[in-house]
Amino acid sequence: MFDDFKQLKAKVNDTEINFKIRNIHKSCENAILFLHGFPQTHAMWAGIADQFAENYPIICSDLRGYGDSEKPLGVENFTFRHMAEDQLKLMSHLGFEKFHVVGHDRGGRVAHRMALDETDRLKTVTLMDIVPTRLLLSELTTQVAKSYYHWLFLAQPSPFPERLITSDPDYFYESCLLGWGAANLDDFDIEKLREYRKSWENADTIRAMCDDYRAAIEFDWKHDNEDHNRCLDIPTCLMWGKAGAMAKHYDIPETWKKSFTNIHQAPIDGGHFFPDQYPEETVAALSSFIGNKLD
């Protein structure tokens, strides 16, 4: 995976962030940052990020708490704002003051927070299979709670969820991969699955991912309430799995119309993990959107 990429780590925002990068010495405003979601790592972007033009810098980063990035202690250290600061400072560290960001799941929520906190730095933002955090938590329906029960389970006080998950991490996290619409385990590349399992079998990662969801309820909800009247004029691509739980329960473009003025829609076959299921279609949609915004 990731031919021609270098694996590096950088200490930014008092947190060591693990990432892979291609064209590290290219200085331009067309760098593309890819952010994964739960319960994955940057490995999800293999076969997608490396399909973009070779002359553009490509960065695939592990969020704090995930993969090989640092896992600080304390729920307060896992807000989307802290995660956004990590990635913004990483890109500054690499010399990219303006760039494109693509985020799936938690990575999409981090990308949204990046857009809110440092609007002028993002040339485009792509959000994959999410609705606004504030909407999901403030208007939680029975149907959404059943599909996305893990939001509430993982947010329970430590060590309750950690102890249950640790008894069989593969069973729990693979149930997450399969539980949000139209996925089978053989939809996931075996090398990527190996990387995911290596990550989620680490007790510190299990604790950190729980803290991520605790922070969403304890801190991020408040942050998003403070910003809910802001509408950003950043070219935005909304992608979602047509057979996924999000598409079943929400009109995804409608949920974002008060947040962004310039929205491009790109529904993809598959469920929540459509990038793993349909990488070629994902690349085509991303290339069409970002390609029109490259200098």
Active site residue 212: no
Catalytic residue among 50, 62, 105, 276: 105
Q: Are 57 and 32 spatial neighbours (Cβ–Cβ below 8 Å)?
A: yes
Active site residue 100: no
Catalytic residue among 42, 82, 104, 272: 272
What is the chain written as a DSSP string? --TTPEEEEEEETTEEEEEEEESTT--SS--EEEE--TT--GGGGTTTGGGS-TTS-EEEEPPTTSTTS---SSGGGG-HHHHHHHHHHHHHHTT-SSEEEEEETHHHHHHHHHHHHSGGGEEEEEEES---HHHHHHT--HHHHHHTTHHHHTTSPTTHHHHHHHT-HHHHHHHHHHHTTT--GGGS-HHHHHHHHHHHTSHHHHHHHHHHHHHIIIIIHHHHHHTTT--B-S-EEEEEETTSHHHHH--HHHHHTTTBSSEEEEEESSSTTHHHH-HHHHHHHHHHHHHTT--
Q: CA 213, 219, 222, 226 torsion: positive or negative?
A: negative
Q: Measured between alpha carbons, how far is residue 243 from residues 5, 44, 179 in Å? A: 33, 19, 12
List, by residue number, the catalytic residues: 105, 272
